[in-house]
Homo-oligomer: A and B are copies of this chain.
Amino acid sequence: MKQVIDFVKTNREKEKQPAESLGFGKYFTDHMFVMDYDETRGWHEPKVVPYQPLTLEPSSMVFHYGQAIFEGLKAYRTQDGKVQLFRPNKNIERLNFSCQRMSIPTLDEELVLDAIMQLITIEKDWVPDGEGTSLYIRPFIIATEPYLGVRSSKRYKFLIILSPVGSYYGGDQLKPVKIYVEENYVRAAKGGVGHVKTSGNYAASLKAQEEAEALGYDQVLWLDAKENKYVEEVGSMNIFFKIKGEVVTPQLNGSILSGITRSSVLQLLEYWNVPVSERKISIEEVFDAYYRGELEEAFGAGTAAVISPVGELSWNNQKITFAQDRSDNIAKRLYESITNIQLGKEPDPFQWTLEVK
């Protein structure tokens, strides 16, 4: 039986920003979805309410022991004015995977999809239609029990908030990014939580990110914790290298996030008959391939940035750069195909999109 989602309408609608000043994750819509968990009632009282601050005890466990997970997906306005989601079920599946690893009670996946659909139906006017814009959807769960012992919380809050967004890095979507290969800091170890969308992973990455920025780089490329040798992922993206026509990306190994754009890239490449391989790849192999003239391209893939070509990669005092004007450029082709599918400009052979009616 389908659970009923209550709705309390706001009596104060906010003003919408013009597309060009949206940025990323700065503005939020008029409503949000909320559902609470406790031991006796389980997840209960799903509702859409006016967007409003949360009132939490200072001892709420999320502040102290970081039990928090999230997802990120987008709703797009198509050319003919429809609104559609991109592979929402993958995000909902991953949300429950994150729940399991972080000892948080899992959610009814059907209800979560229903919540997203209802919330976006209510906020339909907030889905922007400017070039490169979308409505970013942020489902998240936080531990709310007021208790300072170290154990998993007995109370949680699940929320979905919406933010109309432009390009993640600002400016042109396909602007090449400069990436710094990090050798001192480590993001995640096998057996840890690097493959989970949990808040602590991001906090742990900030220092390296800031040091890279101070050196003029946009993002950090992480290496594995064990040997400081194998490529893992970029701050907010999975990474891909095209070597002698084959696209190589690190295999999912328990410390890399299983990106949904990553999975879409792999599916598209196979569909196009482009050779593709998920495997361990060392940073040395990447640089050796470059020096042999065999590394044709590097790019990142993630929901926020879609596809970001790498313009420069720096490792161990060596800088390598990538020309962006190759006729066989695959990053540009992937970007266009994925965004065209998202925007309904091109057929969707994989049934990735889901219309919000």
Contacts and interface: CB of A to CB of B under 8 A. Distances in A.
Contact of A200 (B70, B148, B201): B201
Nearest to A159: B58
B150 A209 contact: yes
Interface stretch (A48-56, A125-133, A311-319): A48-56
Given A148-B25, A191-B185, A191-B225, A206 B102 contact: yes
B66 A68 contact: yes
A25 B210 CA distance: 35
Contacts of A17: none
Contacts of A68: 63-64, 66, 203
A189 B64 CA distance: 21
A1 to B, nearest CB: 29
Interface stretch (A106-114, A134-142, A242-250, A276-284): A134-142
Q: Count copies of this chain in the complex.
A: 2
A192 interface: yes
Contact of A192 (B146, B189, B191): B189
A152 interface: yes
A183 to B, nearest CB: 9
A54 to B, nearest CB: 5
A119 interface: no
B210 A204 contact: no
Contact of A151 (B57, B58, B136, B209): B209
Contacts of A200: 66, 193, 198-201, 203-204
Contacts of A186: 189-192
Nearest to A55: B53
Given A59-B161, A65-B203, A188-B192, A24 B148 contact: yes
Interface in A182-241: 184-193, 198-207, 209-210, 225-226, 228, 235-236
A290 interface: no
Contacts of A66: 66, 68, 198-204
A122 to B, nearest CB: 16
A142 B63 contact: yes
B102 A64 contact: no
A151 B25 contact: no
Contacts of A159: 58
A101 interface: yes
A28 B199 contact: no
A203 B198 contact: yes
A103 interface: yes
Interface of A: 23-26, 28, 32, 51-59, 62-68, 70, 101-103, 136, 138, 140, 142, 146-152, 159, 161, 163, 168, 184-193, 198-207, 209-210, 225-226, 228, 235-236
16 contacts: A25-B147, A53-B55, A58-B161, A59-B138, A64-B70, A64-B202, A65-B203, A65-B206, A66-B201, A66-B204, A102-B203, A150-B235, A190-B225, A198-B203, A198-B204, A199-B200
Given A25-B148, A66-B68, A193-B204, 10 more contacts: A54-B58, A59-B138, A62-B62, A63-B68, A63-B70, A64-B138, A66-B204, A67-B206, A150-B205, A198-B203
